[in-house]
Amino acid sequence: MPETKNTTPENMEIFLKGVWKDNPVFVMLLGMCPVLAVTNSVINAIVMGVATTAVLILSNFLVSSLRNFIPKQVRIATYILIIATFVTVADYAIKAVSLEVHKSLGAFISLIVVNCIILGRAESFASKNSVGKSVLDALGMGAGFTIAVLALGIVREVLGNGTFLGYSLFGEHFQPLVIMILPGGAFFVLGAYLLFFNWLKERKEKQASIETSAI
Partner 1 sequence: MSKKTETKTEETEEQVSGGKMLFSMGTIGIIAGVLIVFTFTFTMPYIKANEAAFLEESIFDVVPGAYTKKVVTLDENNTIIPVTNPDEVAFKLYSCYDKQDSLVGIAIEAREQGFQDVIKIIYGYSPEKQAVVGMKVLQSTETPGLGDKIETDKDFQENFKHLDVSLNEDKSALKELIVLVKNGKKTKKSQISAITGATISSKAITKMMSRSTALNVPVIYKNLDILKKK
Interface residue list for partner 1 (CB under 8 A): 37, 62, 66-74, 77-78, 81-82, 84-86, 88-89, 92-93, 95-100, 106-108, 128-130, 133, 183
C-alpha span between 184 and 188 (Å, rounded): 7
Quote the radius of gyration of the chain (alpha carbons, Å): 19
Element (H, E) at 213: helix 183-214
Residue 98 or 209 with smaller CB distance to partner 1: 98
Residue 100 or 172 with smaller CB distance to partner 1: 100
Nearest to 32 by CA among 187, 144, 192, 143: 187
Nearest to 45 by CA among 187, 124, 152, 177: 152
Cβ 132 to partner 1, closest distance in Å? 10
What's the sign of the alpha-carbon dihedral 146, 59, 129, 134?
A: positive
Residue 95 or 203 with smaller CB distance to partner 1: 95
Nearest to 120 by CA among 32, 1, 12: 32
Cβ 90 to partner 1, closest distance in Å? 9
Rounding to the nearest 10 degrees, give the CA dihedral for residues 195, 200, 203, 204: -150
Residue 168: strand, helix, or coil: strand
Residue 4 or 73 with smaller CB distance to partner 1: 73
Cβ 4 to partner 1, closest distance in Å? 14
Work out the end-to-end distance of the chain between its first and last CA atoms, rounded to an integer number of angstroms: 41
Cβ 160 to partner 1, closest distance in Å? 14
